[in-house]
Amino acid sequence: MMPADSHSPPLDHVAERYVKLILAMGQHDASYVDAYYGPPEWQQQAIEQQQGLSDIKAAADMVLALFAGDHCLRAVNLRKQLQALLARVDMLQGARLDFDTESARLYDAVSPHHSRSYYATLVAEIDALLPGDGTVSARVNAFRAQLVIPADKLRAVMDAAIRAGRERTLQYIALPEGEDFVLEFVSDKPWSGYNWYKGNYQSVIQINTDLPVYIDRAVDLGCHEAYPGHHVYNVLLERDLVRGKGWLEYCVYPLYSPQSLIAEGTANYGIELSFTDAERLAFEQQVLYPLAGLDPALAPRYAQLNALLARLSYADNDIARQYLEGSLAREEALEWLVNVRLYPAEKSAQRLQFYDAMGAYVINYNLGQDMAKAYVERQGSTREAHWAAFCDLMSSPRVPSALRAE
């Protein structure tokens, strides 16, 4: 690790200027600041001053120049976050970035490309698992229709799934006393679940009920949004970095930044870290299916199906890239989502809404998960080692490009 340049200002000074720039950007983009629990007067200042985009860009360039010689992890992370802010300024000023350039500049990572024929072999395996008449997509969705959590059972099922994730997390990660969350059910959103971190170790977790919530989503959403996912991630950042070290850059979370790949990647990897395949099947079959009033005999086959569907996840990135770059028209993108990604038609329309709203953000889920998994599993071979590396990844400065094996 190289020493800081003797002319560089203290990073605490840089961090304060960074936070204020993120808050200033939030005045131009309502979704940009995902969480903030720093000094209230900084937020008020951003509202009152209303910096223009050109001024924000000039100030960010100036801050970057201040600590160009500092190569510690904290400085590297701040630099990547500021570079992503500059990319977002460019986009808001009308720059048209191709999908891979956008993902590289905002999230410090680029997703692999796959052809339709690559996914066809995976779809053929699902065809064999669910033989019968009609398209593979129709058969998948007919099977899944038996596995919708009834609306009046949704809270009980989600509570049980979140509780199980918390119990598993607490075996390996000590959390501060008083950490907690509120669970809400909402509608008219382009996403299926969201964690709004409020500071002081508190989250609001929202589940979107616009579309059917299938039984497997209980564990997915419970782990991803709560334990050991977003809630734990934010609690650790607040405890260990903001309070523990006084690193105020972590009191703000800009959504369109490399931090999101770490956040979404660890939240998704946290699902399989919490439950082995066998543990998850047993928990769902013995606890969640009965709570939802569903037939537990369907659980093993559904687990097989979901394992195959997970291998189709990168189709999301390929569809988004082609759709957003214009090589797939809207109807063509919907057809890919139905027949390649095997989404139901109504979810496919919602997914296009997500692409339109979030752009290349989609890569953070699957590519982020694979990068987090590979990094964590290189740190040791035992479950204890994986949890320790996972905790360290979430509670220390990290940038996505540094997760890759050298």
Task: Write down the pLDDT at residue 9.
Answer: 61
Task: Write down the pLDDT at residue 284.
Answer: 98
374 Cβ contact list (under 8 Å, min separation 6): 403, 404, 405
Any long-range contacts for 183-187 (C-beta under 8 Å, 24+ apart)? 183/155, 183/158, 183/159, 183/207, 185/154, 185/155, 185/209
Task: Write down the pLDDT at residue 139.
Answer: 96
Region 99-116: what's the mean pLDDT?
98
Question: Which tens digits make up the pLDDT trace of 335-393?
Answer: 999 999 999 988 899 999 999 999 999 999 999 999 999 999 999 999 999 999 999 99
Region 3-19: what's the mean pLDDT?
75
Region 53-60: what's the mean pLDDT?
98
Region 118-128: what's the mean pLDDT?
96
pTM over 0.85: yes
Task: Write down the pLDDT at residue 346.
Answer: 86
266 Cβ contact list (under 8 Å, min separation 6): 228, 229, 233, 368, 372, 390, 393, 394
Residue with tokens 């099977």, as numbered in its chain: 143
For residue 233, the one-letter residue type is Y
pLDDT category of residue 406 using cuts at 50, 70 and 90: low
pLDDT category of residue 405 using cuts at 50, 70 and 90: confident
Integer Cα distance of 300 and 306 in angstroms: 10
Hey, which residues does 252 pair with through a beta bridge?
Answer: 36
Integer Cα distance of 269 and 368 in angstroms: 8
pLDDT category of residue 1 using cuts at 50, 70 and 90: very low
136 Cβ contact list (under 8 Å, min separation 6): 123, 126, 127, 130, 339, 342
Integer Cα distance of 89 and 105 in angstroms: 11
Q: In angstroms, what CA-CA distances link 70 with 4, 13, 146?
A: 4, 14, 56
Percent of the chain with pLDDT over 70: 98
Give yes or no for a contact between 376 and 237, defined as CB atoms under 8 angstroms apart: no
Q: Which is more confidently placed, 184 or 190?
A: 184
Residue with tokens 């170790």, as numbered in its chain: 201
Hey, which residues does 208 pair with through a beta bridge?
Answer: 186
Please say if the pLDDT value at position 306 is more than 80: yes
Region 165-177: what's the mean pLDDT?
98
Task: Write down the pLDDT at residue 404.
Answer: 87
264 Cβ contact list (under 8 Å, min separation 6): 364, 365, 368, 369
Task: Write down the pLDDT at residue 229.
Answer: 98
| DSSP-derived 3-state class of residue 180 | strand
**Ranges of each domain in the chain:** 11-96, 116-403
Hey, which residues does 238 pair with through a beta bridge?
Answer: none
Look at strands 202-208 and 252-254 and give their pairing.
Answer: unpaired
With CA atoms as reference, report the closest residue to 266 among 111, 84, 392, 171: 392
Question: Which tens digits make up the pLDDT trace of 328-350?
Answer: 999 999 999 999 999 998 889 99
The residue count of the chain comes to 406
Give yes or no for a contact between 374 and 403, defined as CB atoms under 8 angstroms apart: yes
Region 235-254: what's the mean pLDDT?
98
Quote the tokens at residue 21.
Answer: 């720039």
Integer Cα distance of 403 and 384 in angstroms: 20
Percent of the chain with pLDDT over 90: 94
Task: Write down the pLDDT at residue 4.
Answer: 40
User: Does a cis peptide bond (omega within 30 degrees of 0) precede residue 228?
Assistant: yes
Q: What is the mean pLDDT of the chain?
A: 95
Q: Which of 3-17, 173-187, 388-402 has the lowest mean pLDDT?
A: 3-17
Please say if the pLDDT value at position 126 is more than 60: yes
